[in-house]
Amino acid sequence: MNIILLGPPGAGKGTQARRLVEERNMIQLSTGDMLREAKDSGTEMGERVAKVMAAGQLVTDEIVIGLIEEKLQGDNAGGFIFDGFPRTLPQADALGALLTKYGKSLDVVVEMQVDDEALVNRITGRFTCGNCGEVYHDDTKRPAKDDVCDVCGESDMKRRADDNADALRTRLMEYYKKTSPLIGYYYAKGDLRSINGLGEIEDVAGEIKAALS
Ligand code: AP5
């Protein structure tokens, strides 16, 4: 099964994608994670990407489509979870063409609905394990032992450079201008399932499970 998790910054796409990887042996394709890796690579492309991401703007379609195409050529026995991709109409068209090219198809697009106030709280309280990528929150998901990751046991918690009020305003604006038209695009194709992303992490996982069945 190949699915898209669609939603604004902080909607919980990464959190739920990691659960699906565990539970269904799916492969998470997060363009945000891929771009953060590119950013840390020290290449000229990485430097350009770093500036765009820090400001909360979208990276060019050409770059992210290229990153996704590389991954689509790999093994996907349990299916792919597209997390943070597509984010523009040209990216959505490109994904459709790439899936066809590699003999795959899209099954469901899960739209995670969360109001803006909750998004701000989620983003400003987020921290992540620098070793394994597990996502935490100051209020809603703290590790059992302060600063020690529950999953891998490392003490390497990090906060993202773009998780600040200014960049978040731009990220939200980019979402409403460029990404939210995808809701209508996938609705018209008959692929869209909208869920309430405001509940507890467990409850949202249950809604996604229902949307996928
Ligand atoms: P990206 O990394 O994709 O960030 P994003 O879409 O802004 O999404 P986030 O990762 O911020 O949030 P999320 O929905 O995954 O929420 P999470 O699960 O972490 O993109 C970053 C940047 O890269 C972009 O701005 C752009 O520059 C670039 N980029 C990426 N993809 C691109 C593309 N396709 N095209 C162009 N540019 C691209 O949860 C957030 C917090 O909330 C966590 O602390 C979590 O613990 C908590 N939480 C989660 N669920 C719940 C819940 N149900 N209740 C309470 N708390 C919860």
Q: Looking at residue 189, what is its pLDDT?
A: 97
Model confidence pLDDT, tens digit, residues 184-210: 999 999 999 999 999 999 999 999 999
Instruction: Give, using CA atoms, the residue closest to atom 8 of ligand 1.
Output: 9
List phi, psi (to 5°) of 141: -150, 85
Minimum-distance ligand 1 atom for the alpha carbon of 32: 2
Residue whose Cα lies nearest atom 41 of ligand 1: it is 122
| Whether the predicted pLDDT of 17 surpasses 80 | yes
User: What is the per-residue pLDDT across 85-130, written as a single tens digit (0 to 9) for each?
Assistant: 999 999 999 999 999 999 999 999 999 999 999 999 999 999 999 9
Q: How confident is the model at residue 76 (pLDDT cuts 50, 70, 90)?
A: confident
Ligand 1 atom, smallest distance to 36 CA? 23
> From the CB of 53, is ligand 1 less than 6 Å away?
yes
Q: What is the pLDDT of residues 50-69, one digit of tens each?
A: 999 999 999 999 999 999 99
What is the Å distance from ligand 1's center to 51 Cα?
A: 18
| Residue range 35-46, pLDDT digits in tens | 999 988 888 889
The CB-based long-range contact list for 190-194 (8 Å cut-off, 24+ gap) reads 191/106, 191/107, 191/108, 191/109, 192/109, 192/111, 193/108, 193/109, 193/110, 193/111, 194/110, 194/111, 194/113
Which residues are designated catalytic?
13, 87, 126, 160, 171
Could you tell me the pLDDT band of residue 9, with boundaries at 50, 70 and 90? very high
Residue 24 has pLDDT above 90, yes or no: yes
Paired strand residues for 27: 80
State residue 165's pLDDT score: 85
State if residue 18 touches ligand 1 by the CB under 6 angstroms criterion.
Answer: no
**What residue type is assigned to position 136 of the chain?**
Y
Which ligand 1 atom minimizes the distance to the CA of 9? 7
pTM: 0.95
Chain mean pLDDT for the chain: 95
Sign of CA dihedral 14, 94, 80, 208: positive
pLDDT digits (tens, 9 = 90+) for 127-186: 999 999 999 999 999 999 999 999 999 999 999 989 988 899 999 999 999 999 999 999
Torsion of CA 162, 167, 172, 176, to 10 degrees: -110
- Tokens for 124, please give them: 């400003």
